[in-house]
Amino acid sequence: GNSVTQMEGPVTLSEEAFLTINCTYTATGYPSLFWYVQYPGEGLQLLLKATKADDKGSNKGFEATYRKETTSFHLEKGSVQVSDSAVYFCALSPGGSEKLVFGKGTKLTVNP
Amino acid sequence: DGGITQSPKYLFRKEGQNVTLSCEQNLNHDAMYWYRQDPGQGLRLIYYSQIVNDFQKGDIAEGYSVSREKKESFPLTVTSAQKNPTAFYLCASSMFSGVNNEQFFGPGTRLTVL
């Protein structure tokens, strides 16, 4: 079946620290991969995506590379800000499917 | 502005009552989705619809019902059969393409059963 596993949170960092949130997946076929972000009390916003192996998605200083050999899509940012505090969800869309499969989310808190 | 609206933002319901959550989109998207979010559990798919007048059950459809009479609208009814309805409900939409499926989300409705 299809599944996504994210590192357990919460994650607490100081401003300007380096961020990594691990995400691994199990999927049939060739999935597309996504990172969504959810700010407190709001819906989800797409942060970045990658649709094939070795693609790198990037947005707002965040990056993630689609690694088929390790079935991973880790989220990274070189220098986090207080405004990055949110819950981050890794997700996949199985090839040819309209549905998304989500990880459980990782809560990030950035302190000044 | 194009987007997805959900109403109300907060909803309170007494046990035994049905309640309907609204979801409207003006993105001209074909597909629409309803998710339930509980703390520490991520998002779980309740129902989805790829075209008007057609919808499919997701992973946790029991106790819920939907309709898709218009492309823009996909209301969710939480029935009295849902044993634990208190949760945050999110609606989403996407183009129906079969690949590269990016979903756009509404702001959510927080339902509390009293």
- Reported as a single tens digit per residue, the pLDDT across A57-101 is 999 999 999 999 999 999 999 999 999 999 999 999 887 667 889
- Determine the Cα–Cα distance for residues B90 and B33; give it in Å rounded to an integer: 8
C-alpha angle B84/B57/B101, rounded to 5°? 110
Expressed in percent and rounded to 5, the helix, strand and coil fractions of chain B are 0, 50, 50
Judged by CB atoms closer than 8 Å, whether chains meet at A46 and B104 is answered as: yes
Is 80 exceeded by the pLDDT of residue B10?
Answer: yes
Residue A49 contacts B where some CB pair is shorter than 8 Å: yes
Per-residue pLDDT of B68-101, as tens digits, reads 999 999 999 999 888 899 999 999 999 876 566 6
**Given this model, what pLDDT does residue B24 score?**
97
Which pair of structure tokens corresponds to residue B41? Answer: 């559990």
Distance from CA of B18 to the nearest CA of A (A): 24
Judged by CB atoms closer than 8 Å, whether chains meet at A42 and B107 is answered as: yes
Residue A51 contacts B where some CB pair is shorter than 8 Å: yes
Band (A9; pLDDT cuts 50, 70, 90):
confident
Instruction: List the beta strands (DSSP E) in chain A.
Output: 3-6, 11-14, 19-21, 23-26, 32-38, 44-50, 56-59, 62-65, 75-77, 86-93, 101-102, 106-111
Distance from CA of B79 to the nearest CA of A (A): 23
Judged by CB atoms closer than 8 Å, whether chains meet at A103 and B42 is answered as: yes
Q: Which candidate in B38, B43, B46, B68 is best for mutational testing of the A interface (most A CBs within 10 A)?
A: B43
**Given this model, what pLDDT does residue B97 score?**
62
Q: What percent of chain A has pLDDT over 90?
A: 80
Which pair of structure tokens corresponds to residue B5? Answer: 């609206």
| Of B67 and A1, more confident | B67
User: What would you measure as the largest C-alpha separation in chain A, in angstroms?
Assistant: 43
- Determine the Cα–Cα distance for residues B16 and B28; give it in Å rounded to an integer: 36
Average pLDDT (A41-60) is 93
| Of A109 and B82, more confident | A109
Is 70 exceeded by the pLDDT of residue A20?
Answer: yes
C-alpha angle A34/A39/A40, rounded to 5°? 140
